[in-house]
């Protein structure tokens, strides 16, 4: 447990390092921050913080830089002492997102871009799982005698579509009957609901080959769309930061973006935070690709309609601003 004075010295050092990405010395702290103590006391406090593992000296003659442990103490202090108590620090951003976006896909895209602009970091918005989304309407549109467009609209406004080809002509009246039957059967239900035994028995009792084919196509359509339900923006923004000046430093993040299962592992835990931000710093992350970066993530929505919003950036990120931005994004997405 740090004393109040040493916590202030640590916070000042981290704020200075966040701004300039250069090791910080005692002279800089005493000249730029009102710490209320002598330079000698600051030097003693820096030595104590280094012994405690909060900071380290990269070179003998250099100043100090924060460790992951030091960042953790800094973030915990922000959260525990209500230093980020603003509910909505970006009201104009939230308002604009709600006004401009007409559907969930568009809202996710615009929110991801807004997060990138506010944080200069990689932003990720993950939609709620489509397997848990409740179906509002199913449309079967005949494109030709042997080609049908399946359109699924969820109660959250998500729109999915899939073209289906047949080896024989499909009668328009048969198609209309199946559309009515599917809407009566599936309206208000989820794809997960279709896996229950009672539902499977009901589907099997519908002796209509066209219904069975389109049911399989419906499930495939939802599951394929569910695999690519994230929006990611800002990888190029990281290249302007000193930590990612070389292409090799960005490779782990680029590999992460290519494999969604690894991405989900990185964000695992955000679903259970109940509107609070999950902050993982460097080596706290569960996947090796993120051992040199920090993740700030939170969920939006509730229960089966919950999604995830996250920011990935250097451990030197401005945690206060990033947490506020993520909270604003949570609000925009939850109310959108």
Express each pLDDT in 70-122 by its tens digit. Answer: 999 999 998 887 656 655 566 666 666 666 655 666 778 888 888 898 899 99
Kindly list the structural domains of the chain, giving each domain's residue range(s) and its CATH number in brackets, ordered by start: 4-80 (1.10.10.10), 91-128+229-335 (3.30.450.40), 131-227 (3.30.390.60)
- What pLDDT is stored for residue 52 in this prediction? 96
Alpha-carbon distances of 127 from 105, 122, 131, 292, 309, rounded to whole Å: 8, 17, 11, 26, 9
Structure tokens at 25: 């010395």
DSSP line for 6-38: HHHHHHHHHHHHHHH-S-B-HHHHHHHS--SS-
Could you identify the residue written with the tokens 């993982």?
A: 280
With cut-offs at 50, 70 and 90, classify the pLDDT of residue 262: low
Question: Is pLDDT at 206 greater than 80 in this prediction?
Answer: no
Q: pLDDT tens-digit profile of 40-84?
A: 999 999 999 999 999 999 887 779 999 999 999 999 998 887 656
> Rounded mean pLDDT of 233-257?
81
- Spatial distance between the Cα atoms of 119 and 323, rounded to a whole number of angstroms: 9
DSSP labels for 38-68?
Answer: -HHHHHHHHHHHHHTTSEE-SSTTS-BEE-H
**Measured at the alpha carbon of residue 288, what is the angle toward residues 128 and 226, in degrees to the nearest 5?**
20
Q: What is the distance between the alpha carbons of residues 174 and 199, in angstroms, rounded to a whole number?
A: 23
205, pLDDT greater than 60? no
């Amino acid at each position: 447990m740090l004393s109040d004075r040493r916590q202030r010295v640590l916070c000042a050092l981290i704020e200075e390092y966040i701004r300039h990405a250069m090791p910080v010395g005692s002279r800089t702290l005493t000249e730029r921050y009102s710490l209320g103590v002598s330079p000698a006391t600051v030097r003693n406090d820096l030595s104590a913080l280094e012994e405690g593992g909060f900071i380290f000296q990269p070179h003998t003659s250099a100043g100090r830089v924060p460790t992951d442990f030091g960042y953790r103490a800094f973030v915990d202090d922000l959260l525990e002492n209500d230093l980020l108590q603003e509910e909505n620090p970006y009201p104009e951003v939230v308002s604009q997102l709600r006004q401009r976006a007409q559907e969930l896909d568009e809202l996710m895209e615009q929110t991801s871009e807004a997060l990138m602009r506010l944080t200069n970091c990689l932003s990720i918005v993950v939609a709620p799982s489509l397997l848990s989304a409740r179906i509002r309407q199913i449309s079967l549109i005949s494109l030709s005698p042997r080609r049908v467009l399946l359109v699924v609209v969820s109660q959250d406004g998500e729109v999915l579509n899939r073209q289906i080809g047949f080896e024989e002509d499909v009668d328009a009246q048969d198609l209309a009957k199946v559309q009515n039957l599917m809407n009566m059967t599936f309206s208000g239900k989820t794809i997960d609901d279709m896996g229950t035994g009672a539902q499977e028995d009901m589907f099997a009792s519908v002796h209509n080959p066209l219904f069975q084919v389109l049911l399989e196509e419906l499930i495939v359509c939802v599951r394929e769309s569910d695999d690519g339900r994230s929006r990611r923006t800002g990888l190029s923004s990281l290249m302007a930061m000193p930590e990612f000046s070389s292409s090799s430093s960005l490779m782990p993040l680029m590999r992460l973006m290519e494999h969604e299962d690894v991405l989900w592992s990185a964000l695992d835990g955000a679903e259970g935070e109940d509107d609070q931000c999950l902050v993982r710093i460097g080596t706290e992350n569960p996947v090796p690709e993120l051992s040199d970066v920090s993740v700030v993530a939170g969920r939006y929505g509730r229960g089966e309609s919950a999604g995830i919003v996250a920011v990935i950036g250097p451990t030197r990120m401005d945690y206060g601003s990033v947490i506020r931005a993520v909270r604003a994004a949570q609000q925009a997405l939850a109310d959108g």
